[in-house]
Amino acid sequence: MAASTMPTASSTESRFDQARFIPADAIFALTAQYQEDLSPQKVNLGQGTYRDADGRPWVLPSVKKARESLFEQGLNHEYLPIVGLLKFQQATARLVLGAELSAELGIKVATCQSLSGTGALHLAGLLLRACQKSPPKVYIPEPTWSNHHQVFGSLGFPCESFKYYDHERNDMDIESYYSTLERAEPNSVVILHACAHNPTGLDPSEEHWRQIAHLMKARNLFPLFDAAYLGFNSGNLDEDAFAIRLFIGEMNMEAGICVSFAKNMGLYGERVGCFLLANKSKQIAVNTQSMLEMLQRSEVSNPPAFGARIASQILGRDDLKKMWYADMITMSDRIRSMRNALYDHLVSLGAPGAWEHLIRQSGMFGFLGLSLEIVLRLRGLSSIIILTWRVKEKYHIYMADNSRISIAGLNEGNVEYVARSIAQCLQDVKK
């Protein structure tokens, strides 16, 4: 028999030779560094998760009650439908749009349960790509949540950043925002933070939102809302949903809303989210609903049930919903008090610079405006040499490289220490 002429691969070759090393996600890597730090003084201001006044994870009383109710009813582990738990989707639409607008739109809204907000963004991207001859341009504010670029970039969308924040003034650059929209390519997508902009904590005013909506409608731009902090930002969900309802209700625009219940229900690990799409007609909604079902089937087959059942219990029962609203006020009030406490301590300690921007911000995050050198010094690795000086103190304070902090990581026991450490680092650098 003749020898085989089939090509043989060398033992040193791999079909994955072209794989490139991707550095770890910055925030999750920062959390890992924090966890490895054995200092009793350590403070984690990196990851955006709520902590109570003692610095511990908090299970919302409404969530605890809903969970107990589910176990009393008896749980099974059967599959959900492909697009998820119907009661959860319907309740989410009523919550986000408001009862009146939700009833008015009716079946013109397509819905699909998702793997938290990230999954909703990904579903939105898949649908937008499938409905266009080529992926439209996506305009993303700078700075923004890092996953915005990763989600849409990985799907082949051309992404363009636009200036959202003025670092010199430590304030929102609304004129740059307007200018970007005025020149944006028609039919493009614009990522909008519904409230509690991550990372700056600065949101457009109602007047700003109206101008943004008018510009986007005039340029035929598609609004895609990342709604990760509804109710968590101000303590009032209707107030936080203002922009969404303005675009869809008052301006009569098609829009996508990527909803997450990670923050406002504390369901971080349950990955509870929903994608809502307000369409121009019932028939388009029927069509987009069917496409979402197909796309979901090909990605995850069907979504996880437990967290969605908890959320559905809370949204569907008046007693639990009332408890949840109180829980959101508890969280937003504590964060607001810690924001004010940090500001007060920085000022009283004579920390160099102006700090009014901290109390102009809102929501989970604070954008300090510190240099990378100061951030690294606060982290306090003694082996790091920063410019011409060596770290002498170990402060063990962990925050993102851009000096975004999770205000929820502050409490009465550490806020003065954090402020004093920032003040000392800034004063040392000035010497």
- Tell me, yes or no, if 389 is annotated catalytic: no
25 flagged as catalytic: no
CB distance 380 to 391 below 8 Å: yes
Instruction: Work out the widest C-alpha separation in the chain, in whole angstroms.
Output: 90
Which DSSP helix (H) or strand (E) runs through 101?
helix 99-105
Q: Which of 263, 324, 327, 355 is catalytic?
A: 263
Residue 263 falls in the annotated catalytic set: yes
Annotated catalytic residue within 42, 65, 108, 145 = 145
Q: How many helices (H) and strands (E) does the chain have?
A: 16, 15
At residue 371, φ and ψ (nearest 5 deg) are -75, 160
Helix, strand and coil content of the chain, in percent to the nearest 5, comes to: 45, 15, 40
As a whole number of angstroms, the distance between CA 249 and CA 209 comes to 13
Q: How far apart are CA 210 and CA 251, in angstroms?
A: 9
For residue 277 the two structure tokens come to 């799409």
Sign of CA dihedral 26, 32, 38, 43: positive
Q: In the 8-state DSSP scheme, what is residue 304? A: -
Which residue in the list 226, 240, 324, 327 is annotated as catalytic? 226
List residues with catalytic annotation. 145, 226, 263
